[in-house]
Structure 1
C-alpha cells in the first residue's frame, strides 16, 4: 500500500504543478482571466494545510462579465437543436473520461476525500452528461390535452442564463449534476465553485472548451459567497439559481434573488435518520449504517447521521457497530487503504471537533473516537466517532455536523421511531430497515423527507427525483424534474373552429 501511495502522490504532484506554478483564474466568454482586481487567496490542501496554489478572488465586476457573456450566448445556444447539443455534451463526457485519473487525484488532494470514492467522480460526472445529453432532444416536449372544441399542448423553453453554486464535499460530481441538465435544456451557465475545493471546476471548464462548447455558454468564476456569490444571485441577467450547500446560505440566496424574482433550486442540509427495527437483516443493516455515515468522510448531504435503533436489537447492534467504527482506516486520501481522510478545511475540522464537547456537556457518551489525530502531520484528521446514550434534544442530534460522526438514539415502538425521525428542521432523506413490508410502507409514507430508501443505502438513480423538504431544500433534480426547473412551460391552445365565440356590441 505504501508503494501505491507513493505512486499516487507522484502522479498527483504532476497534475497539481500547474496550479502551484500559476494563479488559477476565471473562465469567462471562452477565455481565461485573472479578474478585474487581481486579488487572490490560497487554496489549502486538507492533507497538510499547505498551499496548492493561488486562486483569483472573484469581484462583482468579474461576475458581471460572466453573466453578460452567458446572456450574450444564450439565444444561439437555446435555438440550437437538441440533437446538436446532444453531440456536444457527449463530446464533453468523452473529455471528462479521458482525464478521469487526473480528476480523481486532484479532487482527493483538494477536498480530502479518499481516492477509493473519488475514482468514480469522473465516471459519474460523465454519466450525468451522457444521461442529460440523451434527453436534450426531448427537453422541449410537453403534453397534448384534447377537448371537444380545442386542443391544448405544452412546450418547454429554456429559462435563460442560470447561476450554479456548488459545494466542496464532492465538487466535481455535484457540479456536473447541476450543469449537465442546464446545458441540455438550452440554458447558459455561470458556475461558482466552492472556494475550499476549486480545482476540478477548472478541469471541467477545460473539458467544456475542448469539447467545442461555444464561448459564453459555460462561464466559471472563483471566489467567496459574500462577494462573487452575492453578485451572481442578484444579477438581473440570471433567471434561476441552483445551489447545493448549507441551509443558512440557501436562505440568504433566496433573499438576494427576491428583488429579481429568481427561480431557486436548493439542496441543503440534513440530519437524516436511519431507522433499524428488531427484525432488520442484521448484517446488511450494519453495513449500510456504517457506509452511509463514514464514507466520503461523513461530508455527504444524504448521510444517515442519526441512528434510530430499536431496543430489542440495540445491545448487539451497538457492540457490532463499535467494533466496525474502531476498525475504520483513517489516512492520507491517496492511500488505497484509506476509508476516511482529512476534513476539507481547518474551519470545518474545528467545527466538527467542537461537537465532542457538546456531546459530553449534553450527557451523551463518546463510545468510539472523538479525538483529533496528529500522527499524519498538520492535516485535518480525526477519529471516526460514535455517540451513544443520546436523545433527540441534544445538539448532536439536532444540528448537522457533516463529518464522520454518528449519533445513536434508542426507540421502543414504530410510533416513537416516527416521532423521533420527524423531530427535526430537516427533511432530505431517510433510511428504513425492517423485514415487515407493511411497516416499511407505513414508515416510508410518514417519515418527512424528500427521499426514502427501504433496506438499502443511498442508491443513485438518475431518472428519479432527488431533493428534500422542510429546511433541506426546494425543488427536485433528476430526469424531467431537472428540466422543470431549467425551463419554462408554455401552453398553446388551438381552436377547432367549432365553438361559439362570445360577442359584444354586435347589432
Structure 2
C-alpha cells in the first residue's frame, strides 16, 4: 500500500537561538513517517554547547530585553499575534505534525492547531483580567502583593501531541513575562521547529528558543543548566523522576504531567450508547497515544457481556489507514519500537490468563507502516500487567465490577491518578464516585473536555503540579510583598541614640 507524504518536510530539523538557526554540534538523527516507516528528514542534535548558548540567550533576553518589563497591554497584543500566526499557518503546521507523528490530519487541523491557537488567546485574555492584592488591615500600613516573572523556563514537549501540548507551555510561560527554551521530542521536531520559526517574527529576540535532541543529551544539558529557573515537562514517569532529581540539585521548581492508566467506569445506570461512544473515543482517539486515555474500562457486571460484544464489534469496524484520508479513524503508531512494545502486551495478556477480544496484531496489509488493529482484552483481575502498566496505544483493558464501592476501589488501585471517567445517569452514584476517586480530573458522562481555567494534572505517578489559568500563574510567577507606612511611623531608637 502506498501512502503519500502530507507535505515535503525540511531535509534537516534544527534549533533556534535568538532567532537564528542553531548549528547543533551533535549527531544527525533520522525522522520517520510512521505511515510508511521511511526516513523523511533528519535532526541535528544540540549538544551541551548549543544548549548553553540557547539558555544564555534566553537569560540575556530576560535580564536586559524588553519582554519581562513589557506592559500587560503590549504583551496581550503579542500573544494575540501569536494566536493569529498559528491560525494563518494551521494547515502547514498540521501537515508537518502528521509527517512526524502519523496522527490524523483531519484531527490535527480541526483540534490540535485550533487548540494551540486558543492557548495563546486564552492567556492573552487571562493576563488582561489579572489583578494584584492590597491589604490595609494593619493600622498605619499598606501592603501590596504583585507577581513578577520568574526567569528562564525550560519547556520539554512530548511526541504524542507536540504542538497542542507545547503551545500550552509556551503561551503560559510567555504570558507572565518569562523567556523560554523549548525542547521537542527527537521523534517529532518538524511542526514545533516551524512554529518557533514563525513566532520569531512576532516575539523579541531571544524570548523563545528551541533545541533538538535526545533526553539523555540535549534534555540533560537543559534541565541541569544553572541559568534555568523553571522546568515544565510532559512525558513518561521515569523521565520525570530523572528531571526532578536534576532540578532538585539546583532547587528549580517543576511541573510534571506524566503517565496515566485512567479508569473509565461504566455503570448499569449509564446511557449505554453514549457510554459506548465515549469509551471508544477515550481509548482510540489520537491513535490511542495519550496519557489521559480511558485505558481501563470498568463495566458493571450486569452489562459487561453486552458491552464487550458491542465494543469489539465497533472496534473491529474502525477504519485503519492513511492518516491524511478523511475517512481514516485510526492511524499508525509513532515509531517501530513503540508499536512492538504495544503488541507485546497482547502476549502478556495471554500469558497471564486474560482473553484477547480483538486485534493484538500488526496490519501487514499496510506495508512497512506502524499500523496495528484496534485491540481489546479482558483481564483476569485489576492486578494484571495490562491493567496496571501504561500501554499508550489503541489497547483497551476491560474488567467487570459488582458495586460502586468496588469500582472506586479498582479505579484507585494504581500508581497513577491523572483522569477518570464516570458514566451514570444516577446522581447519587455520580456523587459517590466523584468524591471517592483519586484522580486530578474527573469527566462525568463525557469524554475528554479541557477547561483551561481549571487546573489539570494528576495524583501519584501521574505528575507534580498543575497546568491551567491560575495554576500556570502560580508556577510562572514569583509573589512579591511590599509594605509601605501610610504616615511616618515612630521608630525605636537603638544604640543609645537620642
Which TM-score band (shorter chain)? Answer: over 0.9
Q: Secondary structure at the match of 1:57?
A: strand
Does the 8 Å contact 1:390/1:407 carry over to 2? Answer: no
TM-score, structure 2 normalization: 0.95
What are the ranges of 5 or more consecutive residues in structure 1 without an aligned counterpart? none
- Cα separation, 2, equivalents of 1:474 and 1:71: 25
Counterpart residue number, 2:90:
100
**Which of 110, 117, 134 is the matching residue for 1:126?**
117
Does the 8 Å contact 1:92/1:210 carry over to 2? Answer: no
**Which of 289, 293, 296 is the matching residue for 1:303?**
293
Counterpart residue number, 1:160:
151
What are the ranges of 5 or more consecutive residues in structure 2 without an aligned counterpart? none
Q: Secondary structure at the match of 2:411?
A: helix
Query: Which deviations, in whole Å up to 9, do the C-alpha atoms of 1:420-457 show, x marking residues without a partner?
Result: 00000001000111112122122112111100111111
Counterpart residue number, 2:363:
373
1:134 deviation in Å? 2.4
Indicate yes or no: 2:50 matched with 1:62.
yes
Counterpart residue number, 2:183:
192
Query: Which deviations, in whole Å up to 9, do the C-alpha atoms of 1:137-176 show, x marking residues without a partner?
Result: 455x332233141433211000001100000001111110
Counterpart residue number, 1:83:
73
- Cα separation, 2, equivalents of 1:134 and 1:455: 29
- Cα separation, 2, equivalents of 1:406 and 1:107: 25
**Which of 194, 197, 201 is the matching residue for 1:206?**
197
1:505 deviation in Å? 6.2
Cα–Cα, structure 1 residues 411 and 80, in superposed 2: closer, same or farther, change >3 Å?
same
- Cα separation, 2, equivalents of 1:130 and 1:491: 29
Alignment of 1:275-290 (within 5 A): 275-290=265-280
- Cα separation, 1, equivalents of 2:387 and 2:409: 14
Alignment of 1:236-251 (within 5 A): 236-251=226-241
Query: Which deviations, in whole Å up to 9, do the C-alpha atoms of 1:172-206 show, x marking residues without a partner?
Result: 11110111010111000000000111101111112
Report the more deviating stretch, 391-400 or 91-100.
Answer: 91-100
Counterpart residue number, 2:142:
151
Counterpart residue number, 1:40:
28
TM-score, structure 1 normalization: 0.94
Report the more deviating stretch, 141-150 or 490-499.
Answer: 490-499
Q: Secondary structure at the match of 2:366?
A: coil
Indicate yes or no: 2:62 matched with 1:71.
no
Does the 8 Å contact 2:458/2:464 carry over to 1? Answer: yes
1:476 deviation in Å? 1.1
1:461 deviation in Å? 1.4
Q: Secondary structure at the match of 2:146?
A: strand
Does the 8 Å contact 1:359/1:387 carry over to 2? Answer: yes
Does the 8 Å contact 2:25/2:44 carry over to 1? Answer: no
- Cα separation, 2, equivalents of 1:185 and 1:152: 22
Does the 8 Å contact 1:390/1:397 carry over to 2? Answer: no
Cα–Cα, structure 1 residues 236 and 317, in superposed 2: closer, same or farther, change >3 Å?
same
- Cα separation, 2, equivalents of 1:195 and 1:446: 39
Alignment of 1:271-350 (within 5 A): 271-350=261-340
Does the 8 Å contact 2:379/2:387 carry over to 1? Answer: no
Q: Secondary structure at the match of 1:312?
A: helix
Counterpart residue number, 1:116:
106
**Which of 165, 171, 178 is the matching residue for 1:174?**
165
Does the 8 Å contact 2:47/2:217 carry over to 1? Answer: yes
Does the 8 Å contact 1:270/1:428 carry over to 2? Answer: yes
Q: Secondary structure at the match of 1:410?
A: strand
Cα–Cα, structure 1 residues 151 and 396, in superposed 2: closer, same or farther, change >3 Å?
same
1:102 deviation in Å? 1.1
1:24 deviation in Å? 1.8
Alignment of 1:482-493 (within 5 A): 482-493=472-483
Cα–Cα, structure 1 residues 82 and 336, in superposed 2: closer, same or farther, change >3 Å?
same
Does the 8 Å contact 1:27/1:33 carry over to 2? Answer: yes
- Cα separation, 1, equivalents of 2:386 and 2:237: 17
1:493 deviation in Å? 2.5
RMSD: 1.8
Does the 8 Å contact 1:82/1:138 carry over to 2? Answer: no
Q: Secondary structure at the match of 1:292?
A: helix
- Cα separation, 1, equivalents of 2:489 and 2:252: 39
- Cα separation, 1, equivalents of 2:44 and 2:32: 14
Counterpart residue number, 2:20:
31
- Cα separation, 1, equivalents of 2:221 and 2:72: 31
